[in-house]
Amino acid sequence: MLILNKTTGVFSNLSKGKIYEFLRSFNIHPGKLFLHKLVLGIETSCDDTAAAVVDETGNVLGEAIHSQTEVHLKTGGIIPPVAQQLHRENIQRIVQEALSASKVSPSELSAIATTIKPGLALSLGVGLSFSLQLVDQLKKPFIPIHHMEAHALTIRLTNKVEFPFLVLLISGGHCLLALVRGVSDFLLLGKSLDIAPGDMLDKVARRLSLIKHPECSTMSGGKAIEHLAKQGNKLHFDFKPPMQRAKNCDFSFSGLQHVIDKMIMQKEKEEGIEKGQILSSAADIAASVQHTVACHIAKRTHRAILFCKQRNLLCQSNAVLVVSGGVASNLYIRKALEVVTNAAQCTFLCPPPRLCTDNGIMIA
């Protein structure tokens, strides 16, 4: 709580008047009875301002989200103060929309849950400061949430999954493999030694100037690569999956990214075009990059499954791998993971794409 109090002090930016105005905007519905406890979840760790109301049985009563992707695409990446400003501009509206969609007034909430880490400090601060003021006004309990734990546990909203299970989290900021032994009991088995796969795909998409591609202009880097890859030949470029000899479950993406950068430079020379123009081989590059990333992720995950099976760390009768995070919405990467889980007789589970990327539901 000490950390939370300090953080509020640093980031506090919404006046008491604004919070009161926010609370007054709700009509209280006398006589309405909720059978279950209701939690408001608030997420602002990166570039999505999201909120949702979920009841204790996992029913989603309402949600709202504001994505900053388009703004950050134009600036070629997330500029933290810009993200912070956009969170400030949208948080009140998004929380209000989530509550209105749920037909729940703030006084009916049982608790407020908010992402407190990991993420961009300036972005996290907006959600935290807003939540703590709301908590203070409403006199409700506050539940601090770890963003990656929320991603890992989201599957329990859509599937009945027993502990322990293996989880692979692949997003723009994270890449980790962990054994989930309980709601807050995680054993880290592997992580990226450098950047996350989503970060790498975003960098490659930027280097290929896919924002100028008419079909990809509003897509995140990873989504643009997936889209373009469908039109390309994955065997056209022979990129080697990283860390083939490493006897652990770690990942690495920055070496591969440098190799791709070099190759793009060479192709630009060959085609006689400037940096910033779209290569005629962009679709083949996208397909080859996606294929190599998928192979790397699948191979490292296969090692983790075998390790867990050897040591009886997973459920004997039904070993489960859960994959989540923004990159898990990539259907080609999912397919590669399905191949290794089938081979290892392991059940493969993935939340629906809209629950793989950042959202308020997973926090609630």
Distances (CA, A) of 331 to 88, 196, 308, 353: 33, 18, 25, 9
232 binds, among ligand KG4, Zn ion, none (CB under 5 to 8 A by kind): none
Q: Which of 127, 232, 326, 351 binds ligand KG4 (CB under 6 A)?
A: 326
Q: Which run of H or E residues covers position 213?
A: none
46 forms part of the interface with ligand KG4 (CB under 6 A)? yes
CB 143 within 8 A of CB 132: no
Ordered strands of the 185-191 beta sheet: 185-191, 175-182, 165-170, 320-324, 347-349
State how far the Cα of 363 lies from the Cα of 44, in Å rounded to an integer. Answer: 10
Q: Which of 201, 210, 211, 346 binds ligand KG4 (CB under 6 A)?
A: 201
Ordered strands of the 111-117 beta sheet: 60-67, 48-55, 38-43, 111-117, 142-146
State how far the Cα of 221 lies from the Cα of 208, in Å rounded to an integer. Answer: 10
**CB 307 to ligand KG4: min, Å:** 25
43 forms part of the interface with ligand KG4 (CB under 6 A)? no
Interface mask (CB under 5 A) for Zn ion, residues 171-190, using x and -?
A: x-------------------
CB 253 within 8 A of CB 197: yes
220 forms part of the interface with ligand KG4 (CB under 6 A)? yes
What does DSSP say about strands 165-170 and 185-191: parallel, antiparallel, or unpaired? unpaired
Beta bridge partners of 41: 52, 113
7 forms part of the interface with ligand KG4 (CB under 6 A)? no
Tell me whether the omega of the peptide bond preceding residue 144 falls within 30 degrees of 0, making it cis: no
Q: Which of 43, 149, 284, 358 binds ligand KG4 (CB under 6 A)?
A: 358
359 forms part of the interface with Zn ion (CB under 5 A)? no
222 forms part of the interface with ligand KG4 (CB under 6 A)? yes
Q: Which of 72, 88, 223, 296 binds ligand KG4 (CB under 6 A)?
A: 223
The residues, ordered by sequence, that sit 6+ positions from 272 with a Cβ below 8 Å of its Cβ are none
Stretch that binds ligand KG4, among 77-85, 104-112, 219-227, 303-311 (CB under 6 A): 219-227
Of the candidates 296, 318, 282, the residue with the CA atom closest to the CA atom of residue 207: 282
154 forms part of the interface with ligand KG4 (CB under 6 A)? no
357 forms part of the interface with ligand KG4 (CB under 6 A)? yes
171 forms part of the interface with ligand KG4 (CB under 6 A)? yes
Residue 106 or 222 with smaller CB distance to Zn ion: 222
Residues that bind ligand KG4 (CB under 6 A): 46, 171-173, 198-199, 201-202, 220-223, 226, 325-327, 329-330, 357-358
Residues that bind Zn ion (CB under 5 A): 171, 358
